[in-house]
């Protein structure tokens, strides 16, 4: 696709069948009526697909074209992602195997076979991850003046400085724990670094075992000299610094050897809900149990002796295939801290989010009026290219202070510890407004923070509810009711991302602001469902899970297939974080067979197969990863020329469609539709770097043209697009 096509504003271009390449069409004589018409091997295993996603993250760390500190950051992201994958996905799979409740996977394989594949693939990726650090990123950082040094390489002056730091900041908090008949093997917390130590008693010549936890509240990488500038700085790993001070922890004993290890536990929270239990109390009990979840991965340094390894395997009662022998350092998640270095030349060029033109003051002396802007016309914002602070945050803060605002209702799935959104809700309640906050305290790994915020909101007089029994509330909604000239006006925000100012700077998301009475009625109905006993399935501009979203998407996919067979314009464009749901995938396969051109833009798990002869010739699948996490969900249907485009919170997974409250909102403004068209044109352009799924389910990354010229970066293109739009006042 040429550069001129990348910049088109025409709403029709995205579904113009005249520009569909010939290899993107298929001869179809009928629309299959039953899934039996589809091949049995039509899905990709979801767990292995997730590992393929994390491999794409690793490929960014391996890419020499990515700034060096950003490559280190991608190494940390890879490590953090893999931890969560084991804590949740692998833990769940193993739990089902152990309890005998495991059923065949989405591709019909035995869960034990899939677990073996996971362990093999994950181990290979971790070795590749370690090599990327030791062979490439670390040496290149050293050339740039950021060095990671070993204790043995330091002179006496440096050692003295570090010893003083150790004695003042580390030694007092260390807790060595002996293991002997009087001291049972200690509990080892998940994801913590540990040092296994063998010491000899010179009186008895007996060798004993001890475990030392590396303190998590101390920086993982310690500056050798605090006076060094960021241009020429040296770090030593905390565990190495401690390991070279062990004699002082065991006076009178001889330290024989030491090794580093780390265990990952099942940290998924399982709560049995009923109509009468106190959900917060149940969750708090379960969070305590999380710390004691069974081990599901043991990482050890590759110098560990067999006696120590045998002891750990025995005490953890862990399968040998889940023991990962790796070169030091273990857990490269500590590399996140390098982002604090003031080395702009080693990072992505900073991008400052712009204020959406509709939310800019008309003159320097004016204050922005969010309500006036939304009242004039609907506003579509795109984060982080456009500012969260001057749109979503300003909306809630203005509502909290506006004397004409009577009520505010908001869903909170994840938010930050110092959230201005929560602070604004508290101010609104203290000012006497009706405020309802639906806090999803079952948001995985944010449960404790959300419990804390829920209690603070309740203490301020906010009506706090926790959603419906058995369902997570994942939708992103703000509803403001304002009295204007004796009538009530509804102002709504419906988004694809969380109300979290911190993640809004790195997550790509869309949000729709509207004062449409139609949307206002829909959102009013939905909040009544969430906070009361209402049962509502009829909405005008919303698709709502679990009652209507699956049916709504399936009916629209089937309609596109019927239109294609009838010779009418057809097309489907989907953007989501994950696609796993078999019923949706099968509907897309049937639509592809009917001749519907389908573009699937997926960041993570993708169980659909692309461009398989006789099955999915008309399906293209792309993935884009970069400085921002692609997080928005978009569902677009050609609809014989009367397009339907939705944005919202739902991914194409069973849990989103069947076990969560999710919302998609229809976009109707032509300029907004054109903007989304342009976004998809970037994502699927041959001139833009991306990963493409091949018919065998593997991913191929294209970063250069056939002539060797670098392809353009999608996120850079969108940044330039928004900056240019701001300069000319376009929407």
Check residue 277 and give its pLDDT: 43
A 10 A CB-CB count for 518 gives 15
Please indicate, yes or no, whether residues 690 and 561 belong to a single structural domain of this protein.
Answer: yes
Which structural domain range is residue 302 located in? Answer: 89-346
CA–CA distances in Å: residue 451 to residues 236, 281, 411: 37, 10, 14
Give the pLDDT of residue 273.
41
Please check whether residues 562 and 489 belong to one and the same domain.
no
Q: Answer whether 275's CB lies under 8 Å from 200's CB.
A: no
Please check whether residue 59 lies inside any domain of the structure: no
Tell me the C-alpha distance between 199 and 201, whole Å. 7
What is the pLDDT confidence band of residue 25, given thresholds at 50, 70 and 90? very low
Q: What is the pLDDT of residues 93-116, one digit of tens each?
A: 888 888 777 777 778 888 889 999
- Torsion on CA atoms 150, 155, 156, 157, rounded to nearest 10: -100
Question: Could you report the per-residue pLDDT of 284-329, keeping only the tens digit for each?
Answer: 454 444 455 789 999 999 999 999 999 999 999 998 889 999 999 9
Rounded CA-CA distance 196/257 in Å is 8
| Separation between Cα atoms, residue 705 and residue 689, nearest integer Å | 9
pLDDT at 694 over 80: yes
Q: What's the whole-number mean pLDDT along residues 662-679?
A: 97
Domain boundary (482, 514, 538) is at 538
79 located within any domain: no
pLDDT exceeds cutoff 80 at 447: no
| The pLDDT value given to residue 272 | 42
pLDDT at 416: 63
Residues 6 and 716: their CA atoms lie apart, in Å, by 13
Phi, psi of 180 (to 5 degrees): -160, 180
In angstroms, rounded to a whole number, what is the distance separating the alpha carbons of residues 536 and 528?
9
Question: What is the C-alpha to C-alpha distance for residues 177 and 211, in angstroms, rounded to an integer?
Answer: 5
Q: Work out how many domains the chain is built from and give that number.
A: 3
Give the pLDDT confidence score for residue 139 in this predicted structure: 98
Q: Mean of the per-residue pLDDT values for the chain?
A: 88
376 and 509 assigned to the same domain: yes
| pLDDT (tens digit per residue) in 130-160 | 999 999 999 999 999 999 999 999 999 999 9
638 is a domain residue:
yes
The pTM score is: 0.89
Query: What residues does 183 pair with on adjacent strands?
Result: 180
Task: Look at residue 451 in the predicted model and tell me its pLDDT.
Answer: 72
Return the CATH number at 184.
Answer: 3.30.1840.10
pLDDT of residue 33: 44
Give CA 280 to chain center in angstroms.
25
Among 564, 623, 558, 597, smallest CA distance to 24 is for: 597
Please name the residue ranges forming H helices in 575-669.
Answer: 582-593, 654-658
> Is there a domain that residue 433 lies in?
yes
Three-class DSSP category at 110:
coil
The mean pLDDT of 33-62, rounded to a whole number, is 90
What are the tens digits of pLDDT across the range 575-631?
999 999 999 999 999 999 999 999 999 999 999 999 999 999 999 999 999 999 999
**DSSP H helices in 317-407:** 370-376, 394-401
Considering the domain architecture, whether residues 527 and 566 belong to the same structural domain is answered as no
Q: Torsion angle, CA of 204/205/206/210, rounded to 10 degrees?
A: 110
| Number of neighbouring beta carbons within 10 Å of residue 253 | 18
Label residue 456 by pLDDT band (50, 70, 90): confident
Q: Phi, psi at residue 121, to the nearest 5°?
A: -65, -45
Using DSSP bridges, classify how beta strands 206-213 and 193-201 pair: parallel, antiparallel or unpaired: antiparallel
273 shares its domain with 403 = no
Looking at the domain assignment, is residue 130 inside a domain? yes
pLDDT digits (tens, 9 = 90+) for 514-565: 999 999 999 999 999 888 766 777 999 999 999 899 999 999 999 999 999 9
Among residues 481, 511, 538, the one where a domain terminates is 538
Q: Which H/E stretch holds residue 265? A: strand 254-265
CATH value at residue 441: 3.30.870.10
| 365 & 404 share domain | yes
| 474 annotated active-site | yes
The answer to whether residues 414 and 397 belong to one domain is yes
Regarding whether 133 and 21 lie in a shared domain, the answer is: no
| Residue 603 sits in the same domain as residue 454 | no
Q: Are 502 and 379 in a shared domain?
A: yes
Strands 572-576 and 598-602 come out as parallel
Q: Quick one: pLDDT at residue 730?
A: 61
Residue 57, phi then psi, degrees to nearest 5: -60, -45
Q: Which of 283, 312, 346 is the last residue of a domain?
A: 346
DSSP three-state, residue 25: coil
Distance CA 696, CA 712 (A): 26
Of 333, 367, 115, residue with least CA distance to 238: 333
Query: Of 258, 351, 356, 474, which is the active-site residue?
Result: 474
Q: Residue 525 falls within a domain, yes or no?
A: yes
Same domain, 162 and 269: yes
According to DSSP, residue 449 is labeled: H
Q: Is residue 60 domain-resident?
A: no
Confidence bin at 442 (pLDDT 50/70/90): low
Give the number of other CB atoms < 10 A from CB of residue 625. Answer: 22
Q: How many residues does the chain have?
A: 731
What pLDDT, on a 0 to 100 scale, did the predictor assign at position 365? 66
Which has more confidence, 201 or 240? 240
Does residue 23 have a pLDDT over 60? no
Q: Which position has the higher pLDDT, 181 or 644?
A: 644
Q: How far apart are the first and last CA of the chain?
A: 24
Instruction: Name 38's Cβ contacts closer than 8 Å, sequence gap at least 6.
Output: 32, 586, 589, 590, 615
401 and 341 assigned to the same domain: no
Taking residues 698-723, report their average pLDDT.
Answer: 92
Is the pLDDT reported for residue 378 higher than 90?
Answer: yes
35 occurs within a structural domain: no
Per-residue model confidence (pLDDT) at position 97: 83
Q: Which tokens belong to 85? A: 């994958």
- 731 confidence band (pLDDT: 50, 70, 90): low
Q: pLDDT tens for residues 157-212?
A: 999 999 999 999 999 999 998 887 667 888 888 889 999 999 998 888 888 899 99
Percent of the chain with pLDDT over 70: 88
Beta strands in 447-556 (DSSP E): 463-465, 472-473, 476-484, 487-495, 507-514, 542-545
Indicate if the pLDDT at residue 493 is higher than 50. Answer: yes
pLDDT in tens, 243-293: 999 999 999 889 999 999 999 998 765 544 443 345 445 544 544 444 557
For the ranges 374-383, 407-416, 702-711, the lowest mean pLDDT is seen at: 407-416
The closest of 378, 663, 656, 659 to 494, measured between CA atoms, is: 663
């Amino acid at each position: 696709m040429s550069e001129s096509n990348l910049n088109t504003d025409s709403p029709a271009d995205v579904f113009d069948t005249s520009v569909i390449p010939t290899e993107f069409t298929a001869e179809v004589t009928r629309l299959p009526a039953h899934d039996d018409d589809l091949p049995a091997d039509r899905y990709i295993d979801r767990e292995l697909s997730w590992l393929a996603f994390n491999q794409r993250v690793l490929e960014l760390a391996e890419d020499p074209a990515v700034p060096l500190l950003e490559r280190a950051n991608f190494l940390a992201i890879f490590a953090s992602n893999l931890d969560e994958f084991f804590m949740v996905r692998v833990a769940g799979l193993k739990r089902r195997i152990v309890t005998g409740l495991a059923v065949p996977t989405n591709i019909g394989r035995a869960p034990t076979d899939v677990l073996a594949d996971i362990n093999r693939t994950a181990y290979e990726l971790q070795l590749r991850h370690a090599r990327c650090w030791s062979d490439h990123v670390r040496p290149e950082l050293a050339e740039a003046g950021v060095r990671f040094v070993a204790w043995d390489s330091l002179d006496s002056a440096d050692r003295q400085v570090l010893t003083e730091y150790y004695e003042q900041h580390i030694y007092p908090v260390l807790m060595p724990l002996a293991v002997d008949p009087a001291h049972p093997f200690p509990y080892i917390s998940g994801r913590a670094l540990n040092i296994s130590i063998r010491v000899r008693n010179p009186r008895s010549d007996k060798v004993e075992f001890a475990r030392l936890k590396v303190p998590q509240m101390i920086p993982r990488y310690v500056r050798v000299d605090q006076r060094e500038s960021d241009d020429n700085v040296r770090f030593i790993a905390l565990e190495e610094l401690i390991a070279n001070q062990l004699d002082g922890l065991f006076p009178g004993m001889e330290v024989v050897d030491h090794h580093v290890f780390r265990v990952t536990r099942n940290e998924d929270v399982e709560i049995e809900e009923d109509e009468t239990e106190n959900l917060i109390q149940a969750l708090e009990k379960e969070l305590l149990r999380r710390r004691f979840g069974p081990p599901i991965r043991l990482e050890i340094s590759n110098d560990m002796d067999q006696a120590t390894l045998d002891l750990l395997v025995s005490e953890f009662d862990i399968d040998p295939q889940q023991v990962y022998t790796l070169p030091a350092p273990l857990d490269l998640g500590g590399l996140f801290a390098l982002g604090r270095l003031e080395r702009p030349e080693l990072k992505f060029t900073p991008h400052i989010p712009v204020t959406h033109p509709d939310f800019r003051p008309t003159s320097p002396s004016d204050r922005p009026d969010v309500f006036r802007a939304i009242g004039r016309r609907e506003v579509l914002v795109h984060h982080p290219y456009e500012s969260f602070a001057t749109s979503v945050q300003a909306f809630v803060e203005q509502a909290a202070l506006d004397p004409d605002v009577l009520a505010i209702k908001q869903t909170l799935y994840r938010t930050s510890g110092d959230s201005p959104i929560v602070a604004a809700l508290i101010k609104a309640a203290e000012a006497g407004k009706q405020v309802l906050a639906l806090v999803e305290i079952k948001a995985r790994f944010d449960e404790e923070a959300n419990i804390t915020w829920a209690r603070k909101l309740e203490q301020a007089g906010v009506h706090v509810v926790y959603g419906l029994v058995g369902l997570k509330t994942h939708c992103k909604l703000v509803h403001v009711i304002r009295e204007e000239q004796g009538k009530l006006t509804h102002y709504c925000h419906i988004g694809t991302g969380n109300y979290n100012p911190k993640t809004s700077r790195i997550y790509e998301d869309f949000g729709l602001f509207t004062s449409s009475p139609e949307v206002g009625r829909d959102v009013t109905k939905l909040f009544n469902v969430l906070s009361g006993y209402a049962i509502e399935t009829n909405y005008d501009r919303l698709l709502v899970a679990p009652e209507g979203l699956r049916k709504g998407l399936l009916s629209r996919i089937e309609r596109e297939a019927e239109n294609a067979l009838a010779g009418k314009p057809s097309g489907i464009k989907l953007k989501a974080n994950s696609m796993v749901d078999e019923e949706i995938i099968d509907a897309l396969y049937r639509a592809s067979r009917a001749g519907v051109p389908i573009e699937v833009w997926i960041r993570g798990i993708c169980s659909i197969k692309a461009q398989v002869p006789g099955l999915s010739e008309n399906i293209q699948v792309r993935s884009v990863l970069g400085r921002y996490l692609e997080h928005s969900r978009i569902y677009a249907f050609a609809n014989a020329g009367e397009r339907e485009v939705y944005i919202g919170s739902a991914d194409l997974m069973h849990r989103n469609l069947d076990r969560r409250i999710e919302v998609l909102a229809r976009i109707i403004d032509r300029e907004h539709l054109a903007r989304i068209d342009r976004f998809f044109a970037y994502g699927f352009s041959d001139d833009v770097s991306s990963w493409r799924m091949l018919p065998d389910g593997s991913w191929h990354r294209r970063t250069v043209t056939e002539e060797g010229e670098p392809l353009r970066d999608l996120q850079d293109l969108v940044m330039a697009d928004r900056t240019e739009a701001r300069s000319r006042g376009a929407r």
